[in-house]
Structure 1
C-alpha cells in the first residue's frame, strides 16, 4: 500500500551544508497495515516458526550452551554488516585472554555487541522496561571501546548525521535534525509500550509482537538517534522486543544473516517506507526473514544435538580410550560449552588436573573431534571444529 511520504522534511545544517532532514510520523502507520490474505498467512507461519524456536529448550540438553554460541555468531554477523572482518574464531580467541594477532579494532566491536546484548537482557530480567534509557545504556556498552568510542556513547546525537553519499548534500538519506531526535524517540518508546492509539481504530496494543518489532526496527533506523552504532542496536532491538513481548524466552532470533544476504533489498525497502509509505512490502520481507531464520536456528540446534551424541558415542566406543573415557567426556563437555578453549581453562572447567586434561585432549585430537589451533608447545588452544563449522555457516566476512 502506498501512503506517500511517511513524515516531513526539515531544514538542517550538516558539514556546512543545508540539507532536508526527514522527520518520521509517529507509529503506527496511517492508514493501518493491510493484514489481509497472504500477509496474514505469512504472519501465522512466522509466528509458528518462532514458537518452535522458543521451545528449543525441550530439544537441547542445555539451552545455555546454544545461547552462548548463537549470541556470539550473531555478534559477528551484525558487526560484519557494518564492515568488520572478524570471524567467530577471532571473537572466541579474543575472549580467552585477548591473544595477540587478533584484529583488535574489529573484534572489540564484536565483543562490545555481546556485552550490550547481555546488559540489555539482564536489565529486562530484573524488571527494567524496554525504554530509551535502556537503549542508551546498551549503546554505551556497544561503543565503550574501539572504533566509535569517541562518538558520544550512550547519548542521543547533538549533531546532524547522514547515510550514504560522499557528503551531506548527496547523501542517500538524512535522518531527523538533532533537536527532533528526543521527541522522535519518545514517540517510539510510547509505541513500544502501546500508548499511542491509532485514530483509525487500530491500537498499538492490538498489534502482534512480530509486527510491532518490524515497525519499530524501521522507525529506529530512520531516526538514527546515535552518531554511530545505530545499525547494530536497531537489530538488537528486534530480539529485545520479541523477548519483552513474550514471543521468545531467550534472545534467539537474529535477522543479521538474512539482512546481510539481502542487503540491497533491505535498504531499498527501508527507503520505500519513508518515501512511499509502503510498510506492507517491508512487513512481507520481515516476516519471511523471521520464518527462515527461526527455522534455520531450530535446524542448527538439532544438528548440534546430533553432533554431540555422535561424538559422545565415538569416545565411548573408541578402542584406545579405555579407562580414561570419563575424563575425555568431561573435556568434550567443556568444548561444548566453549568450542574454542585453552588447555588451562579446560582443566579448570572440567575439574581435572592439567596433565589429565592434556591427555584427554590428545585423545579427542586422535579421534578427529578436536584440533590444536596455535601450533605452539605452550599456551595451546583447541577447537571443536565440527561445532564451530556449523555455527560459522553464512559467517564469511563481506
Structure 2
C-alpha cells in the first residue's frame, strides 16, 4: 500500500545553515496498516516465536540466571551500535570491580544501559507506572547518568536541533523535527502508545512506535539505544513477555543498511507495511535465537553441575560456587562468598577445583583481588557481541 508522505518539512536554521527538518504526522498511519495478505504470516510467526520465548522463563530451571546474562548481552550490542568497544566480558569484569582493556567511558555507557533497562522494567512492573514520556525521560536519565553522555541533558527533551548522518546539518542524511515541535510530537506518540481504539496488536504498535521515536529523535544523545529499549518495554508492558528477553539490536546491526533504507523510504512514501515486514521477521528471528541460546545455556549449566557432582566430598561447596557463577558469571572470591554464605577460603578451594575441571578461569592475573569467569557459559552468551560494530 502506498501512502502520502508521513510528515511535513519545516525550513529551519541549524548550525548557521538552512535545513529542511521533518515533522512526522501522529500515529496511527492513515489509511490503516494492512495486516492481511503481506503481513499476516510474518505477524503470526513472530507472535508464535514470542510465545515460545516467553515460555522459556517458565521452563528453564535457571531462567533468572539467563535473564541476568542476556540483559547484559543486549546492553553490549546496543552500545556497540553507537560506537563503543565494550565486550560482554568487559562489562561483567567492570561490574565485578575489575579493570577492562577498553576505555572506561565505553564500559560505563554499557553499564548505564543495564541500569536504564532495569529501571524501566521495575517502574512498569513493581510501581505499576505507565509507559509514558515521563518514564522515557527517567530511563534516559539512567542511560546518560555518567560517561560521555552526562553532559547531553540526561532526562530532558532536546532544546536544540540535532541531525542524523553527515558532519553537519547541511549534509545530514536526516534532520528530525525542530526543538519547538518535540514536545507535541512526543505527546502524540504517548497518546498512540496508550490508545485502545485503533485495533492494532501490541507487537505492531511497538514496531510503529519505534520508527516514530527514531524519527522524532527527542534527545540530544541516546536516541538509538532508547528507541530499541522502547520495543522491549512495550512488549513487557503489554504482557507479551514476562521478562525482558527480546532485543533487536543484533538484528538491526546485521541488517543496518536495510534498516535505514526502510526508515527513510517509509518517511518518504508511507510504506509502513515494508517496514513492519522487516520488523516482524526480525522479531521472529531474534526470539527463536534467544530460545536456542537459553536452552544451550541451561544444558551447559546442567552438564557442568553433573560433572562437579562426580567429585565426591569436594562437590558440595563447589556446586554452590558453580551456582553462584551461573547467576553472575564473572565475580570476585569475596562476592561469591557473600552470595553463597561460604567462607572465602572455601570459595577459593572450590574455584581451584572448577579450574582443574576446565570450567572457570582467573581473568586478572593478579595474586590478590582475583576475579573468576565461568567461561563455557559466557561463550554461549557472547555470540554476536565480540565483533566490532559494522
TM-score by length of 1: 0.95
- Matched-pair contact (CA < 8 Å) for 2:28–2:192: yes
Match of 2:327 among 329, 337, 346: 337
- 3-state SS of the aligned residue for 2:21? strand
| Distance (Å, rounded) in 2 between the aligned partners of 1:111 and 1:375 | 24
| Distance (Å, rounded) in 2 between the aligned partners of 1:344 and 1:101 | 23
Q: Deviations over 1:199-226 (max 9, x none)?
A: xxxx42x101110000000000000000
Number of matched pairs: 387
Deviation at 1:63, TM superposition (A): 2.0
Per the alignment, residue 287 of structure 2 pairs with: 294
Match of 1:371 among 339, 348, 361: 361
Per the alignment, residue 15 of structure 2 pairs with: 15
Per the alignment, residue 182 of structure 2 pairs with: 181
Per the alignment, residue 5 of structure 1 pairs with: 5
Match of 1:381 among 334, 348, 371: 371
- 3-state SS of the aligned residue for 1:3? coil
Deviation at 1:102, TM superposition (A): 4.6
| Distance (Å, rounded) in 1 between the aligned partners of 2:100 and 2:246 | 32
Deviation at 1:38, TM superposition (A): 3.8
Q: Deviations over 1:17-48 (max 9, x none)?
A: 11110000110111111222241011011001
Per the alignment, residue 96 of structure 1 pairs with: 96
Deviation at 1:322, TM superposition (A): 2.5
- 3-state SS of the aligned residue for 1:12? strand
- Matched-pair contact (CA < 8 Å) for 1:340–1:381: yes
Deviation at 1:372, TM superposition (A): 1.1
- Matched-pair contact (CA < 8 Å) for 2:62–2:298: no
Per the alignment, residue 64 of structure 1 pairs with: 64
- Matched-pair contact (CA < 8 Å) for 1:312–1:329: yes
- Matched-pair contact (CA < 8 Å) for 1:27–1:191: yes
Per the alignment, residue 348 of structure 1 pairs with: 338
* Residue 280, structure 1, aligned to residue 273, structure 2: yes
| Distance (Å, rounded) in 2 between the aligned partners of 1:22 and 1:54 | 37
- Matched-pair contact (CA < 8 Å) for 2:330–2:373: yes
- Matched-pair contact (CA < 8 Å) for 1:85–1:397: yes
Deviation at 1:99, TM superposition (A): 3.0
| Distance (Å, rounded) in 1 between the aligned partners of 2:74 and 2:217 | 21
- 3-state SS of the aligned residue for 2:148? coil
1:100-249 counterparts in 2 under 5 A? 101-125=101-125, 126-194=127-195, 203-204=197-198, 206-249=199-242
Q: Structure 2: where are the runs of 5+ without partners?
A: none
Deviation at 1:58, TM superposition (A): 2.3
| Distance (Å, rounded) in 2 between the aligned partners of 1:360 and 1:150 | 45
- 3-state SS of the aligned residue for 1:225? coil
Across the aligned residues of Structure 1 and Structure 2, the Cα RMSD in angstroms comes to 1.1
Per the alignment, residue 251 of structure 1 pairs with: 244
Per the alignment, residue 200 of structure 1 pairs with: none
- 3-state SS of the aligned residue for 1:332? helix
Match of 1:394 among 379, 384, 388: 384
Q: Deviations over 1:243-274 (max 9, x none)?
A: 11111111110000100110111111111110
Deviates more, 1:58-67 or 1:286-295: 58-67
Deviates more, 1:371-380 or 1:386-395: 371-380
Deviation at 1:191, TM superposition (A): 0.2
Deviates more, 1:76-85 or 1:147-156: 147-156
| Distance (Å, rounded) in 1 between the aligned partners of 2:64 and 2:132 | 26
| Distance (Å, rounded) in 2 between the aligned partners of 1:391 and 1:12 | 46
* Residue 73, structure 1, aligned to residue 81, structure 2: no
- 3-state SS of the aligned residue for 2:77? helix
Per the alignment, residue 199 of structure 1 pairs with: none
